[in-house]
Amino acid sequence: MFERILLGYDGSEGAKRALEVAVDMAKRYSAELHVISVARIPEYFELREETERAKRYYEDVLRYAKEFAGKMGVEVEGHLEFGKPSEEIVRKAKEIGADLIVLGVKTKHPFDRRILGGTGDKVVDYAHCSVLIVR
C-alpha cells in the first residue's frame, strides 16, 4: 500500500508518537522510511551561530529517530533542511516520491492551531500525497 513514507520530525512529544506510527507502518508495508527535520533560518544578525546551533540540534534529533527505528528493524534515511517546515516537508515528499507523509501534532487547542496556522494544516493543503496526522 505504501512504498515510501516521509516523517516530519522535530523531536517534540507529538513527533515521537508519529515516529512510532511511521516505523510501525514502514515495517508493516516494507516501505522506505525517510525522516525530515527542518530548522528555521533565523532572521537576525547572528545567522551563522544560530544556524550551527540548529544544525547540531536537528542532527541529534535525526540520530534519535534513526536509532529508534533501527531497534525496530527499520532503516531510516535522514534529511536535514533549512527553511519553512511546511514548505520543506512538501518539497521533500515530492522529491523522494513519497506516497505518505506522517506528522505529529503538538497538543494545542484546535482553535489556537487554526488561528496560528499549524505546519500540519499547510502540509495537508499542499501535499501531493496522503497525510497522516498523529495525535
pTM exceeding 0.75: yes
pLDDT at 110 over 80: no
pLDDT, residue 40, reads 82
* Contact (Cβ atoms closer than 8 angstroms) between residue 18 and residue 9: yes
State the architecture of 4-134 in CATH terms. Answer: 3-Layer(aba) Sandwich (3.40)
- The answer for residues whose C-beta is within 8 angstroms of residue 37's C-beta and 6 or more apart is 8, 9, 10, 11, 58, 61, 62, 78, 79, 80, 81
Classify residue 41 by its DSSP letter: P
pLDDT tens, 42-98?
666 557 778 888 899 999 999 999 999 999 999 999 999 999 999 999 999 999 999
Q: Is the pLDDT of residue 124 over 70?
A: yes
pLDDT at 15 over 50: yes
Q: Hey, what's the cell of 31?
A: 516501505
What's the rounded Cα separation, in Å, for the pair 106 and 56?
22
